[in-house]
C-alpha cells in the first residue's frame, strides 16, 4: 500500500510538472544534492522548486538548460521522462486560470462587493504596479466610509506571482465577513469592533505574467540593469534589507533578488505607506507552499522579545485549523521553521509597529502534493480551514492590540504535534 501511495503521489507530480512545461516551454530538471549546491544554484539565478530524496528540482528555460551544460553540472531531465502514460488533464473550468482570479477578475469582484455592500465596504487604490495596474485594498467595517479611528487588521496576498492560492484566501475572507454580517453575531461583532483591510494582490504584473506566459514566475516585472527581469517583493521591505546573501540576493537574475534599495518597488512601497497610515494591530501575509505558520524573526534564527506570545498565537491558529479538514499546519519562527529571509513583510511590520505579524504558507506540504499547483477544488477547503484562525486573530487584535492579555490567555491550549517534511523554496 505504501508503494502504491508513493506512486500515486509521484504520478500527480508528473502531471502537474509536465502540464506546466508544455504551457511555458519550461522543463523541470533535477540535480544531485550536495553541501552548498542549493545556495550556489540560487546565487546563479536558477529557480529552485524543492529538494526531495537527495535531488534538487529546478524549473528551467531553454537558456537555463544551456547554462547547466556550460557549467558541466549533470542534470536529469524530468519532464520528458514523465510524459509517457500520463492521463489527459481536463481544461480548467473557468478559462486559462480556472477558478483562480486574474487581475481583471479580481478587480471586478472587489468592485461588486463594494457595490453590493456599500455600508460595510470601502474599496481604495493604494498605489499602482510598475505596469500601471491598481493595487486594491478593501476595507470591511460597519460605517466603512467613515474613519472611526478603530483598530485595524491587514491581510496581504500574492507577493509572489506563482502563488495563486494566496489571492483567494484573503478575497474569500472579505466576502465571508460581508455576506455573514447580518446573520452571524460573531462576525457582526468583529466587523463592528474594527477595520479589516484586505489587499489580495500585491503583485498584479507578476500574476498576469504567471497566468499568460510562465506559470512559475515569482517576482515583479522590473527590467533590471543586466537585462534580467524581476525583484522579489518579499525581499524589498526595509527592515534588515540586504542583511546577508542567504536571506536575499544582490544578483538581479536570482529568484530572491532584493532590488537596488529598500522599497525601490512601487508595490512594496505602496504597502509600506498604506501600513503607516493606519492603526494596524495584526498582519497576515499569505504565501504558498509549505503548510506552516511563521513569525519573526526571519532574517536571523533568534527570538524576538515577543517570542512566547507570538508562538502562543500561532499554536492556537494551528489548533483551530486542524479539525476543519484534518490538515496539520506547523508553526515556528520563520528562520527556524523554513529558511532565512531578509527584507520581508512580517519582519518589517513587527519591527516598525511591534504587532503580531505572521506569514502563513498555505498547503500543500511539499512538491509531491502539488507544490504551487493547487487544484481548483482545493480553494474553498483551504479557505475554510484558515477561516477560524483568521477570525481568532482578528478578535485578538481588536480586543488587545498585542498578544498578552485576552489573546495569550485564549492561546494557552494543547498544541498540535509538530511535523517535518520537504518544503518548497518560496
Active site residues: 361
Q: Cell 483567494, residue?
A: 168
Report phi then psi at 128, rounded to 5: -130, 155
Please check whether residue 217 is in contact with residue 162, taking contact to mean a CB–CB distance below 8 angstroms. yes
Please check whether residue 213 is in contact with residue 160, taking contact to mean a CB–CB distance below 8 angstroms. no
What spatial distance separates the first Cα and last Cα of the chain, rounded to whole Å?
32
Strands 280-288 and 292-295: unpaired
- Please enumerate in sequence order all residues whose Cβ is within 8 A of that of 423, keeping only pairs 6 or more positions apart, or say none: 50, 289, 290, 292, 338, 361, 365, 366
Distance CA 292, CA 314 (A): 9
Report phi then psi at 167, rounded to 5: -80, -40
Distance CA 305, CA 18 (A): 46
Q: How far is CA 323 from CA 42, 113, 177, 327, 400, in A?
A: 37, 30, 21, 7, 26
Distance CA 161, CA 255 (A): 12
Distance CA 426, CA 421 (A): 15
3-state secondary structure of 122: strand
Which residue blocks in 2-97 are alpha helix, DSSP H? 2-24, 37-43, 62-70, 78-83
Please check whether residue 226 is in contact with residue 253, taking contact to mean a CB–CB distance below 8 angstroms. yes
Distance CA 21, CA 217 (A): 13
- Please enumerate in sequence order all residues whose Cβ is within 8 A of that of 264, keeping only pairs 6 or more positions apart, or say none: 231, 236
Nearest to 124, CA basis, from 106, 108, 112, 111: 111
Amino acid at each position: 500500500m505504501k508503494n502504491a501511495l508513493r506512486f500515486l503521489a509521484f504520478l500527480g507530480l508528473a502531471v502537474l510538472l509536465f502540464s506546466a512545461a508544455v504551457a511555458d516551454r519550461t522543463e523541470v530538471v533535477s540535480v544531485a544534492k550536495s553541501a552548498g549546491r542549493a545556495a550556489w544554484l540560487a546565487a546563479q539565478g536558477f529557480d529552485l522548486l524543492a529538494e526531495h530524496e537527495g535531488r534538487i528540482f529546478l524549473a528551467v528555460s531553454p537558456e537555463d538548460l544551456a547554462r547547466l551544460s556550460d557549467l558541466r553540472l549533470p542534470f536529469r531531465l524530468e519532464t520528458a521522462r514523465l510524459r509517457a502514460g500520463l492521463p489527459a488533464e481536463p481544461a480548467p473550468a473557468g478559462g486559462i486560470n480556472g477558478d483562480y482570479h486574474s487581475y481583471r477578475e479580481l478587480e471586478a469582484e472587489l468592485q461588486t462587493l463594494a457595490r453590493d455592500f456599500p455600508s460595510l465596504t470601502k474599496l481604495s487604490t493604494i498605489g499602482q504596479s510598475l505596469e500601471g495596474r491598481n493595487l486594491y485594498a478593501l476595507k470591511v467595517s460597519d460605517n466603512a466610509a467613515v474613519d472611526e479611528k478603530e483598530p485595524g487588521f491587514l491581510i496581504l496576498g500574492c507577493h509572489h506571482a506563482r502563488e495563486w492560492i494566496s489571492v483567494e484566501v484573503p478575497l474569500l475572507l472579505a466576502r465571508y465577513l460581508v455576506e455573514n454580517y447580518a446573520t452571524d453575531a460573531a462576525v457582526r461583532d468583529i466587523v463592528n469592533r474594527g477595520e479589516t483591510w484586505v489587499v489580495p494582490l500585491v503583485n498584479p504584473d507578476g500574476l498576469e505574467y504567471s497566468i499568460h506566459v510562465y506559470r512559475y514566475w515569482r517576482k515583479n516585472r522590473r527590467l533590471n540593469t543586466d537585462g534580467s527581469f524581476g525583484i522579489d517583493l518579499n525581499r524589498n521591505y526595509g527592515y534588515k534589507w540586504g542583511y546577508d546573501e542567504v536571506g536575499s540576493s544582490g544578483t538581479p537574475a536570482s529568484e530572491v533578488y532584493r532590488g537596488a534599495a529598500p522599497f525601490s518597488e512601487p508595490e512594496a512601497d505602496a504597502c509600506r505607506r498604506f501600513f503607516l497610515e493606519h492603526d494596524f494591530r495584526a498582519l497576515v501575509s499569505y504565501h504558498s507552499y509549505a503548510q506552516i505558520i511563521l513569525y519573526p524573526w526571519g532574517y536571523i534564527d533568534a527570538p524576538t522579545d515577543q517570542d512566547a506570545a507570538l508562538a502562543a498565537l500561532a499554536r492556537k491558529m494551528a489548533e483551530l485549523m486542524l479539525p476543519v479538514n484534518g490538515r496539520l499546519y506547523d508553526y515556528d519562527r520563520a528562520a527556524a521553521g523554513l529558511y532565512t529571509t531578509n527584507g520581508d513583510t512580517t519582519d518589517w511590520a513587527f519591527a516598525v509597529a511591534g504587532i503580531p505579524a505572521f506569514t502563513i504558507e498555505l498547503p500543500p506540504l511539499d512538491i509531491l502534493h502539488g507544490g504551487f499547483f493547487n487544484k481548483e477544488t482545493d480553494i474553498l477547503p483551504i479557505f475554510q480551514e484558515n477561516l477560524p484562525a483568521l477570525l481568532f486573530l482578528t478578535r485578538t487584535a481588536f480586543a488587545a492590540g498585542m498578544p498578552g492579555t485576552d489573546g495569550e490567555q485564549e492561546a494557552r491550549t494543547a498544541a498540535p504535534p509538530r511535523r517535518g517534511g520537504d518544503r518548497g523554496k518560496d
